[in-house]
Amino acid sequence: AQSVTQLDSQVPVFEEAPVELRCNYSSSVSVYLFWYVQYPNQGLQLLLKYLSGSTLVKGINGFEAEFNKSQTSFHLRKPSVHISDTAEYFCAVSDTDKLIFGTGTRLQVFP
Amino acid sequence: DAGVTQSPTHLIKTRGQQVTLRCSPISGHKSVSWYQQVLGQGPQFIFQYYEKEERGRGNFPDRFSARQFPNYSSELNVNALLLGDSALYLCATGRGTSVADTQYFGPGTRLTVL
């Protein structure tokens, strides 16, 4: 079965600084990869997904992620964060008919 | 179009009771999946339904059951509640059954078991 590891439970960063949220998954077989964001007291919103093709995926709100098959990683990046990016971020991998989520990374943006 | 809606938003039950949670999908979506999100954890897959049939089931006990109605809305039932069932229950809907399809999540139902 697939598993997802988000190594950083919390990432504090100042506004306008770059950020990278790390995600590693367990299997090298073909998978689909996703990043979701969860704002307080809300459901999850899809930021971006990798299905095939270009390894650099661009998403909403200026986020992008790079699929690295050899490293089994799918790290999320943003060149300049805003206060409004403060939220919980979840990486997910496909496993047959379902998504397997990581434990989440809390991104805290300070002014 | 309205997004995915879930009801109720909050619920408090005691151990041993039964609970029913409801989900209405986005118009045109025929697939409904249920996830349990325990505080501090990522969501865990419980069920997927498509065209009223169960298409997938996660590693949850038989106390958990679900169904999908002809209008594609869905209910999640949990019997004999345990303290450990306290969680945010999320519903996600999509057009088809492929995990590659974008799933749209509702705001969730916060269940507290005392």
The Cα B87–Cα B40 span in angstroms is: 10
pLDDT of residue A53: 87
**Tens-digit pLDDT profile for residues B62-88:** 999 999 999 999 999 999 999 999 999
Q: Percent of chain A scored above 70 by pLDDT?
A: 99
Q: Is residue B22 within a helix (H) or strand (E), and if so which, with residue range? A: strand B19-24
Residue B72's pLDDT is 96
Residue A96 has pLDDT above 90, yes or no: no
Q: What are the pLDDT digits (tens) for B84-111?
A: 999 999 999 999 888 888 889 999 999 9
The residue whose two tokens read 């299997």 is A27
- Encode pLDDT of B23-73 as tens digits: 999 999 999 999 999 998 999 999 999 999 999 999 999 999 999 999 999
Q: Decide if B45 touches A, using CB distance below 8 A.
A: yes
* Chain B residues in contact with A97 (beta carbon < 8 A): 48, 55-56, 97, 99
- Average pLDDT score over residue span A23-52: 89
Q: How many CA atoms lie within 13 A of A104 on its CB side?
A: 20
Please answer yes or no on whether B4 and A43 come within 8 Å at the CB atom: yes
d(CA A3, CA A49): 17
Mean pLDDT score across all residues of chain A:
93
> Distance between CA atoms of B65 and A41, rounded to whole angstroms?
25
Question: Which tens digits make up the pLDDT trace of A56-82?
Answer: 999 999 999 999 988 999 999 999 999
- Cα separation, A91 vs A103, in Å, equals 8
Tell me the chain B residues in contact with residue A98 when contact means C-beta distances shorter than 8 Å. 33, 45, 48, 56, 58, 99
Mutation choice for B interface testing from A99, A103, A106 by most B CBs within 10 A: A99
Give the pLDDT score at B1: 58
Do the chains contact at B45 and A102, CB–CB below 8 Å? no
Rounded to the nearest angstrom, the minimum Cα separation between A15 and chain B is: 25
Residue in chain B nearest A33 by alpha carbon: B100
